[in-house]
A = this chain, B = another copy of it.
Amino acid sequence: MKAVVLLSGGLDSTTCLAIAKHQGFECHVLSFDYQQRHKAELHAAKKIAKHMGAASHQIVNLAIHQWGGSALTDTHLTIPEDKVSDEIPITYVPARNTLFLAYALSFAEAIGAYDIFIGVSQIDFSNYPDCRPAFIEAFETLANLATKAGVERQAFKMHTPLMHLSKAETIKAGVNLGVDYQLTVSCYQADDQGLACGKCHSCQLRQKGFQEAGLVDATNYQKL
């Protein structure tokens, strides 16, 4: 059975792809070029999709940098390196996951897939609103109202296998499935070689995850 799997090239989405594959889906992978600073993430996604035997890999150009609004797409803004807090940070990209899922839905309907995987987690998620169960449930409802396949047979199902896992639990699940985390890039300001800063919120969450999992940190850091 076909599934569409969103793959950023980071730790979570790569684990999500491994899980979808393990569940027996033929994985059609979708990545986005939204002029994110961390382009290395996208290079990683290409390698990972190939390495993990994706049935196809589409890269979509997303024109959201044209209106800015996020430190991930606006180089005039600084990526925070302070402690992760309870607030929605400046790295939030307006409606990013809504756009990602809208594309996934369009792609899925075009290829006859009804299962969509996204590696969001409500734990360790940087407080992004579009990583919560209520958002995903609302999108599934929307998907089945918005589309021909949805209206005809309520066919679409959103899969969020990491929703209730901590970063450490995600890493352990991935390791069990043979994921090579050296291939993944989580850093918001990774350099062209994919080397991580070790300071941004995404790096902090990843480090914490490896520590709590009791595993060696599979991250390639920039040399100071």
Residues on A close to B: CB < 8 A?
58, 60-61, 63-64, 66-69, 88, 92-99, 101-103, 105-107, 109-111, 129-130, 132, 134-135, 138-139, 141-143, 145-148, 150-151
Contact = CB atoms under 8 A, between A and B. Distances in A.
B110 A67 contact: yes
A99 B96 contact: no
Nearest to A152: B88
A206 to B, nearest CB: 23
A133 to B, nearest CB: 10
Contact of A61 (B61, B68, B103, B146): B61
A99 B135 CA distance: 16
Contacts of A146: 95, 97-98, 129-130, 135, 138
A105 B98 contact: yes
Given A98-B105, A129-B148, A148-B88, A67 B58 contact: yes
A203 to B, nearest CB: 22
Q: Counting chain B CB atoms within 10 Å of each CB, which of A67, A92, A139, A141 scores highest?
A: A67
Contact of A110 (B60, B61, B69, B101): B69
Contacts of A141: 138, 141
A109 B95 contact: yes
A98 B61 CA distance: 17
